[in-house]
Structure 1
Amino acid sequence: MIPSDVPGENVEVDKRSRKYVDRPGFSLQAMSNNFRRFNARIGPVFVFQNRAIRLFTWRTPTHTLAFLATYTFVVLDPALLTILPLAVILFFIMVPAFLTRHPPPPTLLPSELYPLGGPPLAPPPKIKPAPELSKDFFRNMRDLQNCMDDYSVVHDKILSQVAPLTNFEDEAISSTLFTTLFLSSLVLFVSAQLLPWRFIALVAGWVGVSINHPFIQDLLATPDNQRRLEDEEKVALSRAHTFAQGDVILDPAPEKREVEIFELQHREPYAMNYDKNDREWEAWVFTPSPFDPLSPGRIAGDRPRGTRFFEDVAAPRGWKWADKKWTLDLLSREWVEERCIAGVEVEVEGERWVSDILYEKSEDLDEALRSPTKKGKEQKQNGAAAVTWEEGQGRHKLGEWRRRRWVRTVERVPNPIVGKGDGMVVVNNDE
């Protein structure tokens, strides 16, 4: 469920690639044309931006207080939130359009009512793109330029404040923040319905708008207050770092896993002596799969894949060898049982080879799987299925393949190389 940024066969890393979403490619002509069209039509957005700035900076106090009163009603009765879109359409779009079509007379006495009857006296308003090289067009370019600068400043400010805390550059402080957020989410999951959210939203809205009042901004902008705020911020960060360094335990040791490889040997069927099993075996390949008689590749007729020499076995991507050499797995019976391998003879002593058993007919193998002999086998208690392998005692005709398991320890490297490696090693995730 957690998204991964590690490149792989089925992972798309670049979310803006044309392979991810089919969109037109870059073109200077299209860029120029789209910029002109965009700049000619972006004017209403900047008008709304300017009105919002005037509203929240208390340029007209009555307008700001009216907004806070409306905000209070909506917070105390959230059902009124459904009326806001309708009220915006009525009072900010349709009423101005009606006044444009029915303008008042040039002279209007205070005692007269506004004339609502009669035919329209003006054409309806139409929103048109600003003509190129007009004042509105250059105003839009000016506002767009300032908007890009504001976005860049806010973007850099957020990254400078948030990124060091969340990108585990300092693992102690990031781990503390992660733990705090995780525990807070658990607490809110249980107790969120008990909090007075209306009161919290009401106080937060009034405080957020009131703090932009010029009087409060003048108080906060004094040099003494600026130094005091900076000192308080430094003290808070110092306490957080002290707590993180003292209470968060980090594991400096690199992660280690055990990997496995199977040494596979082969002898041709025509070279076998069915009366004796002492024919020479030929070193074939080192492979991550045991290539047992019932493996899918074996049934499909595929040849085992791997490398011919131990030295060519590479560690998985992002890992390196933690010890100097491979170790033979002496518990051959255990890994055969874990994989439920059937139709093989296991050496519990000596070189620990697991060899195929040569059956005269395929029915013999089916019969062995259905009703295995008791000698050389172990049966689990409480009615569990029997293990379908034979203990190596030299009394079976062996097939053309045998294998044994080697293990080695790997550890994480700080900067894994991104790309496809040639290692034939499988990581055992259970270790």
Structure 2
Amino acid sequence: MSNDNSSSFANSNSSIPVVQIHPADTPGSRMPNPEHGSHRLSASKLKDKLESLGDSMNRESTSRMGDRMINLLLAQVLPNEDLSATSPPDGNFDTSPQVKDRRSHTYVERPNFSIPTMSSNFRRFNSRIGVAFVFQNRLIRLFTWRQPTQTLSFLLMYTFICIDPYLLPVLPLASCLFFIMVPAYLARHPPPPTSFPTDLYPLGGPPLADAPTIKPAPEFSKDFFRNMRDLQNCMEDFSRGHDAVLQFLTPLTNFSNENLSSLLYIALLLISCALFLISHLLPWRFIFLVLGYGGVAMGHPAVQDLLATPENEQLIAEAENEGRSFLLSASKKDIELQTSQEAREVEIFELQHRALHDKAGEYEPFIFSHSPYSPLSPARISGDRPRGCAFFEDVLPPRGWRWSDKKWTLDLLSREWVEDRCVTGVEVEIEGERWVTDLHYEVLEEGEKSKGHEMKKGKTSGMILA
């Protein structure tokens, strides 16, 4: 190598390491000089190094591909707003009433939403959910009579449990023995390959295989994609079942039809009270036995084919419509919701005032109040200001009531009102709007005229509350 381009090497002042590949180590081979910076590496070791490096690169690339795929999947279904935010950035909270969110941090402290965390948790969940789908497939095969002997065996065990419910705690223990521990022992102690089917299973001897362990499915393996397929189908089944249940129950229970929901509420209340009293008298074992046999029999292919005929589907639809029609007619006949509304008349007093010493002055509007603020009223004696609103449009009905009409009626029977309430210290106009005014007493104390205000009251009534 020429020294003209030696400046292009960063380690020009030190020796350049050279990897030498030797096919085999022989006694007569020449050993490289360590001072020259060369390292001896056999072909087998180099192959192992490259394979390990390639495996690590493949794992990293596979993990990155998995992250990208899950992130792209989540980006299609997530909204743009931040779901983890609990308050606006400026700290101003909306004071309007909102529905309580039982999943917020107010009730349970949980980590906020994060796409990387969601991606990682989804991959971990998907690689471990296979056992649930295996159990689901076995239940489907069991209740669809794929193997009638297994279904009949299940019905036999169900019959024993219904007849003697005290055997129910034995079921999980027996399931653990026969479905978990026995297969694990058989995998640990497999039978000899030369044994005949008629030979007894050998119970002695050392274990011939490793203990079985359950490992998560590797990413991008067949089991991993099978789990994704089953998870996709499970989400669709849950969505259909959820929508079907809501479509059936919501019109009956959300009081959109108040007569129908009220009838259903009364029926459920009566049934609950009756079961509370006579529940111990009912043959629950026989009831559960019949319901279990009926549910399993519904999954038989012959029964499914019989129910899937157009005639039976039409018959079921007609029966459902007749049942709904019967409930609607019964609710309209027996449930009466249109009751006569309670109506009350309220009084609102318009208060005006002027200075006590200004006899020639005009009264000025002061406030609209529900109290007349008479001279001998406790609020007037204690010196409290009358309570009310400054504008007539701001007068609101009490909580739970509403105005039946927007038109108010001016009460011109002020004298009768004063006499009925025994109001003293006032005078009543006999013409015009029939104002009720405080009597003006000129009192001299120590040569000074008393100072204060005199009130002028007018009553507006006739608005009906409903």
Q: Is the 8 A contact 1:265 1:401 kept in 2?
A: no
CA distance in 2, matches of 1:35, 1:353: 80
Deviations 1:341-378 (CA, angstroms, capped at 9, x unpaired): xxxxxx984595999xxxxxxxxxxxxxxxxxxxxxxx
Given the superposition, is the C-alpha separation of residues 8 and 263 from structure 1 closer, same or farther in structure 2, using an over 3 Å criterion? farther
Q: Which amino acid aligns with 2:202?
A: P
- The answer for the alignment partner of 2:155 in structure 1 is 68
Quick one: which of 214, 229, 232 aligns to 2:316?
Answer: 229
Once the two structures are superposed, the pairs formed by residues 288-299 of structure 1 within 5 Å of their partners are none
Q: Distance in 1 between matches of 2:401 and 2:228?
A: 53
The 3-state SS of whatever aligns with 2:402 is strand
Which range is displaced more, 17-26 or 310-319?
310-319
Give the partner amino acid of 1:243.
A
Which of 173, 180, 187 aligns to 1:93? It is 180
Structure 1 segment 14-413 matched on structure 2, within 5 A: 14-251=101-338, 306-315=388-397, 320-324=402-406, 349-350=418-419, 352=421, 409-411=464-466
Range that drifts further, 49-58 or 98-107 = 98-107
Residue 351 to residue 262, structure 1, CA distance change in 2 (3 Å): farther
Distance 1:304 1:138, change over 3 A: farther
CA drift of 1:106 comes to 1.4
Give ranges in structure 1 of 5+ residues lacking alignment: 1-6, 273-279, 330-346, 356-393, 412-431
Equivalent pair of 2:369/2:387 in contact (CA under 8 Å): yes
Report the alpha carbon displacement of residue 409 of structure 1 after superposing the two structures with TM.
4.2
Contact in 1 for aligned 2:349/2:371 (Cα 8 Å) = no
Task: Write out per-residue CA displacement over residues 124-153 of structure 1, whole angstroms, 9 at most, x where no aligned residue.
Answer: 121111111000100000000000111111
Percent same amino acid among aligned pairs?
Answer: 54
TM-superposed deviation, 1:241: 2.2
- How far did residue 237 of structure 1 move? 2.3
**1:310: Cα distance to partner?**
3.1
What is the distance in 2 between the residues matched to 1:302 and 1:98?
Answer: 90
- Check whether the contact 1:56–1:212 (CA below 8 A) recurs between aligned residues: yes
Aligned residues: 344
Q: In structure 2, what is the equivalent of residue 418 of structure 1?
A: none
What is the CA-CA distance between 1:285 and the residue it aligns to? 5.4
- RMSD of aligned Cα (Å): 4.5
| Contact 1:258/1:409 (8 A) holds in 2 | yes
Conserved in 2, the CA contact under 8 Å of 1:58 and 1:64? yes
Letter in 2 for 1:108: S
Instruction: Give the direction of change, closer, same or farther, for the CA distance of 1:261–1:30 in structure 2 (3 Å limit).
Output: farther
Structure whose CA Rg is larger: 2
Letter in structure 2 aligned against 1:41: R
Deviations 1:311-345 (A, max 9, x none): 2123467753113467899xxxxxxxxxxxxxxxx
Shift of 1:210: 1.0
Structure 1 pair 230/132, CA: closer, same or farther in 2 (3 Å)? Answer: same
On the 8 A contact 2:408/2:460 being kept in 1, the answer is: no
| Structure 1 contact 265–281 (Cα < 8 Å) conserved | no
> Which amino acid is 1:157 matched to?
A
- Give TM-score, length-normalised by structure 1: 0.65
Read off the aligned partner of 1:101 and give its amino acid letter: R
Q: Distance in 1 between matches of 2:289 and 2:151?
A: 15
CA distance in 2, matches of 1:266, 1:120: 104
Q: Secondary structure at the match of 1:228?
A: helix
Q: Distance in 2 between matches of 1:123 and 1:150?
A: 39
Displacement after TM superposition at 1:65 (Å): 0.8
Q: CA 1:97/1:293 → structure 2, altered by over 3 Å: closer, same or farther? A: farther
- Deviation of residue 166 (structure 1)? 1.5
1:127 and 1:317, CA in 2 relative to 1: closer, same or farther beyond 3 A?
Answer: farther
Cα distance in 2 for partners of 1:75, 1:149 equals 33
| Deviation sequence 1:39-82 (CA, Å, 0-9, x none) | 11111110110000001111111111111111111111111111
Which structure 2 segments of 5+ residues have no match? Answer: 1-93, 425-439, 441-451
2:67 alignment counterpart: none
Mapped to 2, the partners of 1:171 and 1:203 lie a distance apart of 35
> Could you say if the C-alpha distance between residues 118 and 400 of structure 1 is closer, same or farther in structure 2, counting changes exceeding 3 Å?
farther
Distance 1:63 1:108 in 2: 27
Q: 1:12 to 1:247 in 2, by over 3 A?
A: closer
Given that 2:408 and 2:463 are in contact with CA atoms closer than 8 Å, whether structure 1 keeps it comes out as yes
Map Cα deviations across residues 83-102 of structure 1 (whole Å, 9 max, x no partner): 11111111111111111111
State TM-score, norm by structure 2: 0.61
Report how far residue 20 of structure 1 moved.
Answer: 3.4
Decide whether aligned partners of structure 1 residues 62 and 120 sit closer, same or farther in structure 2, where only a CA change above 3 A counts: same
